Chain A
Amino acid sequence: MERKWLWRVIFLVLLIGVSVAASVTTVVRAPENDQKDNYAALRKLFPGINLGLDLQGGLRLIYEVGVDAAIEDKRDHIAESIVHELGEKAKIKNVKAVGSKENDYEFDLVFPDAGKMRSDAAKEVLKDYRRMAVETSESASTVHMELKEEIIEETKEMSIKQAVETIGIRIDKMGLANTAVIPRIANQDIIVQIPGIDEKQISRIKRIIAQTARLELKIVDDQGTTAFFTTGVMKEKLAALAADKNASISLHQEPGSGHYYLSAKNELRGKSGRQILEAFLEGVELPENREISYQEQQGKDGAGNPTADVTWRTYFTEKVAGITGEYIDEAAVAFGEQGKPYVSLRFNQEGAGIFADLTGENVKERMAIILDGKVQSAPVIQEKISGGNCQITLGRADALDNLMAEAKDLVVVLNAGALPAPIKPVTESTIGPQLGDDAIEMGKIAFVIAILVILVFMIIYYKGAGFAADLALVCNGVFIVAILSGAAATLTLPGIAGIILTMGMAVDANVIIYERIREELRGGKSPRAAVDAGFKRAFWTIFDAQITTFIAGVVMFQYGTGAIKGFAVTLLVGIVTSMFSAIFVSRLVLDFMTRRRTDQLSI
């Protein structure tokens, strides 16, 4: 017995030693002196407890992901490729795909006639797509289709995961540390947690996170412009425009090349130039794969100085983007003439190839750089660009500071890529740093008082054995901190409450054992035998009693978010450590107290 006891003491001492070492990174700040390296090494082993948002302050947002939009996108894509396949394989042209207006997963394929619809070739093509979309019914020359459930689910999940990745990169690029972006697939939302930020940054952060950021480069069809402006309906419209002395729209020719474009000023408190232009062009049929793109421009006076006017102008561009932001490898802020910032882009390998072909085929043409539907600039392609570099000059000539901020934000979103689906915040909370400090202070006080009260109470009630329980309780405290520190767990305010609560519950095991020992003593057993019997018979009672709280803790961990999860973690850890301390540590002390065959036990 003596030898076995010694081994147990050595084991406990080692365990406490490791625990204390593990707690150092949590309890002690990183030293500045020559111990710095040792501290860093220790940190690798035991990362230390992280403070939750409620303790260190910060921003927490929950974004709902518009998965419907992603599913719609997927549906459009599948329908499109079916139409394409019908044209290629089945040689059935002019099939139209029409998406349902009611939901985001149904669509119709409108065939030119019923015969073509029923043809084996058509059936064959549709069969190939069964994995993604199935026919539900047909009427006249229309086949009703709907996306398969698995495809819908997969798309939802993918869009949430992609959004998480994109948001994560955006946040990283803003230089914010220790952030967390957590997807919750079942809820179709994303939790974003950013600790310790300045209140003034919040609106910028929110804007950057939620911007869609779709970049498209489209070739400007300058040759087609002349034809477009000088024939058909356009010709008549322009003639009418020339006759109208009060027209708000004016026709221009590009200096040098002489290509036509229209422009209109924003009306004061009225329509914008873009709206005026769009109203003017309404009903004008555009050639295939052509569209009008718009650019917002700062007005200039005769001397070239900016005025308060804002003008919108048109570009006659291709409808299909030559290349999109998907292929961006890196974007950076660069400076042009007079220190004016612009964004320089580098495409990835695949993108560089596409970009080289695009620029090679369109030398001397212009290329419109369109961000979220607005032309930023339209430089002339001087030569084939094979390095994959491109630059975006920012639209409005504004104060340099504003331009700089705009360029920086643009770089962040371009580098992170576009969001696969729009997101919107559904919950937001900000916690000031002051509040967190107060909470930590309160936690410390409550912890110390609670422990002292329980320590004193146990000694009064159980005397010598109470001391054993107290020792176990102190060990328990050290073990909890050590485990949380080693696992780099996040401590929240309810988490502190959890620790304090388990301190109260920790003595429970001791109480069960001691009451049992008292019973055995009353029954006439010697102290030594009573201790043995007490521990032996109490173990399963303790186990059964603690496991129910443990189950509740596990459920809470599953259900809870943020702060509540912190409570569940400390509760779970506390239950395990308190059982160990009560059974192992206090047993050790009681064995020591009864090591000689005394007939006295202070309990």
Chain B
Amino acid sequence: MQIFKNKTNFDFMGKARTFAILSTVAVVVSLAATLLLKPKFGIDFVGGTEIQVKFKDSQATVGNIKSVLKKMGFTGMDVVSFGASETEYLIRLKEVSSIDDTKRSQLKSGFEKNLGKTKLNKFEFSPGGDKLTVNLAAELPIAEVESAAKSAGLDLTGEANDEDAEATEETARRCESSTCTWTFKDMFVYEISLTGVTEQVMSEFRKESWGEGAEKMRSEWVGAKVGEQLRNAGISSILYALVFIMVYIAFRFDLRFAPGAVIALLHDIFITLGIFTLLRIEVTLATVAALLTIVGYSLNDTIVVFDRIRENLAVSREVKLQAVVNRSLNETLSRTIMTSVTTLLAVLVLYTVGWKTSLRDFSFALVVGVIVGTYSSIYVATPAVVWFDRFFSKKEKA
């Protein structure tokens, strides 16, 4: 079987202008969406809590779950049916701790009052909200700090075991040598374990009639600072990949091919991000991995075309680059389509079968990337090479 029995002779370059406009519009829309609407970042990039819960009762509906969460004081939440069974849900919370700013200052003043005379230097919750660090001007017994925290309304006890209600004390380092006259620092640091968001949420669910025996399948929380680090690392990793690939192309091919490849790659990345933003699909670490794969894959197609252009340029007596390019595109057409089809088949299977797992968004990004990548190697990368060539040769003549 063959898609194209004989040599094809589509006039790709003739229609390139139309597609260039189409691509420009798509990129502009995507960029606008990404910049104005902002992508919906997953918890790994902005911090937050994610809990996957399996309920036993069919009464456990999105509405019921949300009302429990609202009652607990959460504001930014997202509850979706997810996972292998009907009553399994993925809950995303903006908060990594149930302690927001207002509550924090309330707790702080309450705690301060309970301390009596002792001065409070620092009152800080860990990103996970399961640890409170206080810094006191004088050394207090742990039990005292604990009781001050408890009567301020902090939830010190873990749901199941009282073991959690324990504060570890780290006394300030003191001078330990007899000759020492080291006088600085008279601060005392206490760390108090608190019940984290996940445990709180789970125990609230279990109190409901429909929540009995609710099972935590998975939970994750990421502090905001880590999220920012990961986001920056993600962006720089894509930039690194682009740079390395460009260096390789410039070295293996010809410098004039490089701009076309770069434009095609940026085109693919922006459009994929734009689609994610418009469809409100979460952008996570996995999305970055998918984007990196798309970068590699889309270039794969582009390079096969470039390779043929190079080969044809060497043997052909044709003067016009445009004609050579068009012929090369035609010669590689069935190959370009064939690989895209097989890769697309694999990714589509992954998307369909993996629908219920965390791979859903990842494989969706790959589906989009394969399609956009194939299109861009024909209609973006190659025409760009011709236009750049024309632009530069004009300049030389002038």
Contacts and interface: CB of A to CB of B under 8 A. Distances in A.
Contacts of A273: 141
B144 A274 contact: yes
A548 interface: yes
B233 to A, nearest CB: 6
A62 B185 contact: no
A275 B142 CA distance: 10
Interface stretch (B20-28, B29-37, B217-225, B387-395): B217-225
A1 interface: no
A341 interface: no
10 contacts: A207-B164, A272-B140, A373-B169, A428-B196, A442-B359, A511-B342, A551-B241, A552-B296, A555-B292, A556-B293
B354 A446 contact: yes
Nearest to A460: B1
Interface of B: 1-2, 6-7, 52, 54, 83-84, 116-118, 126-128, 130-131, 133, 138-144, 147, 151, 158, 160-161, 163-164, 166, 168-171, 173-185, 189, 191, 193, 196, 215-223, 225-226, 229, 233-234, 236-237, 240-241, 244-245, 248-249, 252, 285-286, 288-289, 292-293, 295-297, 299-301, 303-304, 307-308, 331-332, 334-335, 338-339, 341-347, 349-350, 353-354, 356-359, 362-363, 366
B360 to A, nearest CB: 11
A296 B164 contact: no
Nearest to B158: A203
Contact of A426 (B176, B216, B225, B248): B225
A319 B363 CA distance: 62
Interface in A452-479: 453-454, 457-458, 460-463
Contacts of A207: 163-164, 166, 168, 193
A266, A428, A493: residue with the most chain B Cβ atoms closer than 10 Å: A428
Contacts of A97: 180-184
B248 A551 contact: yes
A508 B342 contact: yes
Interface string A412-449: 00000000001011111111101100110010011001
Contact of B237 (A79, A522, A559): A559
A79 B346 contact: no
Given A540-B307, A548-B245, A564-B285, A454 B331 contact: no
Nearest 10 CB-CB pairings of A with B: A504-B346, A274-B141, A549-B296, A552-B296, A429-B220, A272-B144, A559-B237, A373-B171, A446-B353, A99-B184
A134 B174 CA distance: 24
A344 interface: no
B205 to A, nearest CB: 15
B286 A494 contact: yes
Given A210-B168, A556-B292, A560-B289, A430 B180 contact: no
Contact of A571 (B140, B179, B286, B293): B293
A95 interface: yes
Contacts of B357: 438-439, 442, 493
A341 B188 CA distance: 31
A80 B128 contact: no
Interface in A352-406: 372-374, 405
A73 B170 CA distance: 14
B356 A432 contact: no
Contacts of A561: 285
Contacts of B233: 559
Contacts of A310: 143
A153 interface: no
Given A73-B173, A426-B226, A550-B296, A312 B141 contact: yes
Contacts of A563: 285-286
B109 to A, nearest CB: 18
Contacts of B185: 72, 99
A429 B223 CA distance: 12
A469 B219 CA distance: 43
A289 B178 contact: yes
A526 interface: no
A556 B143 contact: no
B147, B219, B338: residue with the most chain A Cβ atoms closer than 10 Å: B338
B144 A275 contact: yes
Contacts of B6: 522
B297 A422 contact: no
Contacts of B308: 541
B171 A461 contact: no
A35 interface: no
Given A79-B182, A95-B181, A278-B140, A449 B353 contact: yes
B142 to A, nearest CB: 7
Contacts of A319: 174-176
Given A432-B217, A461-B338, A80 B175 contact: yes
Given A96-B181, A497-B359, A457 B168 contact: no
B345 A450 contact: yes
A544 interface: yes
Contacts of A327: none
Contact of B342 (A200, A431, A457): A457
A425 B193 CA distance: 12
A349 B353 CA distance: 61
Nearest to A422: B170
Nearest to A575: B296
B30 to A, nearest CB: 21
Contacts of A199: 216
A505 B373 CA distance: 14
A272 B114 CA distance: 12
Interface in A295-348: 296, 310, 312, 319-321
Nearest to B49: A428
Given A275-B144, A296-B141, 6 more contacts: A212-B170, A278-B138, A294-B141, A434-B215, A551-B244, A564-B286
A68 B300 CA distance: 47
A168 interface: no
A95 B183 CA distance: 11
A120 B331 CA distance: 85
Given A445-B353, A500-B346, A548-B303, A278 B139 contact: yes
Contacts of B301: 545
Contacts of B131: 424-425
B248 A503 contact: no
B349 A450 contact: yes
A83 B178 CA distance: 11
Nearest to B202: A199
Contacts of A541: 303-304, 307-308
B349 A449 contact: yes
Contacts of B288: 559, 564
A460 B240 CA distance: 40
Contacts of A204: 163
A274 B289 contact: no
A204 to B, nearest CB: 7
Contact of A522 (B7, B130, B193, B285): B7
Nearest to A437: B84
Nearest to A431: B218
Given A200-B160, A497-B354, A559-B237, A547 B362 contact: no
Contact of A508 (B143, B175, B225, B339): B339
Contacts of B140: 272, 274-275, 278
Given A99-B185, A266-B143, A507-B342, A545 B127 contact: no
Contact of A320 (B177, B334, B345): B177
B83 A438 contact: yes
A450 B237 contact: no
Contact of B142 (A320, A374, A427, A435): A374
Contacts of A87: 179
Contacts of B163: 203-204, 207, 405
A388 B104 CA distance: 49
Given A97-B181, A497-B359, A549-B293, A511 B339 contact: yes
